[in-house]
Amino acid sequence: MDKVAVLLNEMVEQGIIEDYAVFGAVAQMRYTEAVVTLDADILVAVTEPDKLDVLSPIYAFCRERGYLPEGEAVRVGDWPVQFIPAFSKLTREAIRDAEIGDLDGIPLRVIRADYLAVIALSVGRAKDFARVLALREAGAVTDKEISDLAMRHNLTSEWNLFKGRFDES
Amino acid sequence: MRADIQAVLKKQAAWQRSRAKRPWAQKLRDSVAMRRALTFLKKHPSPLFEKRPNK
């Protein structure tokens, strides 16, 4: 993952992207035990969001460094990396408020646990619910933090649905 | 719940918490190793898990 961190930090320095933050399972592992995942998901704030192919400068930058596309992702060392442009107010805010994680001394921006949980709630697959459960169990996020953030992004019904399904009455 | 089962679950939870506290970089390396193991098992399934032939 250190190669991914170096690549992403270079992209920001050279103005290819405005900002980034790791999310998905790779971000989850900052807070919980290791889990199996196929790829690393990276939220990116792009410089020209209205362009038709917003990811092409990113792919070109990767190619120049020898990192080639592999299906929907770009292979960077051990990790297929998926670049996902920020697609909502919630994800844009998640990038803005991201924390800086430490990967053997290399900084890597990562979204906060509350954003991770609320993005998972908004997606709503079984594995996303499992992520919320894991984050709560690890003590990475409180119910109040999830509830407050969910309310700000009109996701209270999703949060209530989750609680109804998984919390003991 | 029986006390011995409760003790086992408590031990398991403590072990899980200790694994969660390891450095992020280490956990990501573990994840890569688990992904490789899973891929290997998918490509080379144990005969125990292969589909039983129709009779």
Among A65, A82, A111, the domain boundary falls at A111
Q: Over the stretch B20-48, which tens digit does the pLDDT of each residue have? A: 888 999 999 999 999 999 888 888 877 76
Question: Does A20 contact B at CB distance below 8 Å?
Answer: no
Q: What is the pLDDT of residue B53?
A: 64
pLDDT tens-digit profile of A39-54? 999 999 987 777 778 8
CB contact under 8 A, A102 and B17: no
Confidence (pLDDT) at B55: 54
Which residue type sits at A38?
L
Question: Do residue A61 and residue A104 come from a single domain?
Answer: yes
A14 and A76 share a domain? yes
Q: Which residues contact A106 (CB under 8 A, 6 or more apart)?
A: A2, A5, A6, A9
pLDDT at A98: 96
- The three-class DSSP label of residue A99 is strand
Residues A84 and A120 reside in one and the same domain: no
**pLDDT per residue over A118-156, tens digit each?**
999 999 888 899 999 999 988 899 999 999 999 999 999
**End-of-domain residue from the set A111, A137, A153:** A111
Q: How far apart are CA B22 and CA B11, in angstroms?
A: 17
List the domain range (segments joined by +) for residue A160.
115-166
A100 and A62 belong to one structural domain: yes
Q: Say which of B25, B27, B35 has its CB closest to residue A33.
A: B27
User: Are A30 and A97 within one domain?
Assistant: yes
| pLDDT score at B32 | 94
Same domain, A119 and A104: no
| Same-domain status, A35 and A106 | yes
pLDDT bin (cut points 50, 70, 90) of residue B54 is: low
Same domain, A120 and A64: no
As for the ipTM of the complex, it is 0.85
**Which residue among B20, B23, B32 sits closest to A138, beta carbon to beta carbon?**
B20
A124 with A96, same domain: the answer is: no
- Of A40, A37, A74, nearest in space to A55 by CA: A74
Mutate to test the interface with B, among A4, A6, A29, A99 (most CBs of B within 10 A): A29
Phi and psi based region of residue A159 (left: phi greater than 0; alpha: psi -120 to 50; beta: remaining):
alpha
Are A69 and A81 contacting, i.e. CB atoms less than 8 angstroms apart?
no
Of the candidates A91, A111, A131, which is a domain's last residue? A111
Q: How far apart are CA A14 and CA A125, in angstroms?
A: 36
Tell whether A142 and A154 lie within a shared domain: yes
Query: Residues A8, A20: contact at Cβ < 8 Å?
Result: yes
CB contact under 8 A, A33 and B20: yes
Q: Is A79 on the interface with B (CB under 8 A)?
A: yes
Both A47 and A122 in one domain: the answer is: no
Q: Residue A74 sits in a domain of what CATH number? A: 3.30.460.40
Share of chain A above pLDDT 90, in %: 77
pLDDT at A99 over 80: yes
Bridge-based pairing of strands A40-46 and A79-85 is: parallel
The fraction of chain A above a pLDDT of 70, given in percent, is 98
Q: How many domains does chain A have?
A: 2
pLDDT category at B51 given cuts 50, 70, 90 is low
Q: pTM of the predicted model, to two decimals?
A: 0.85
Residues A20 and A93 in one domain: yes
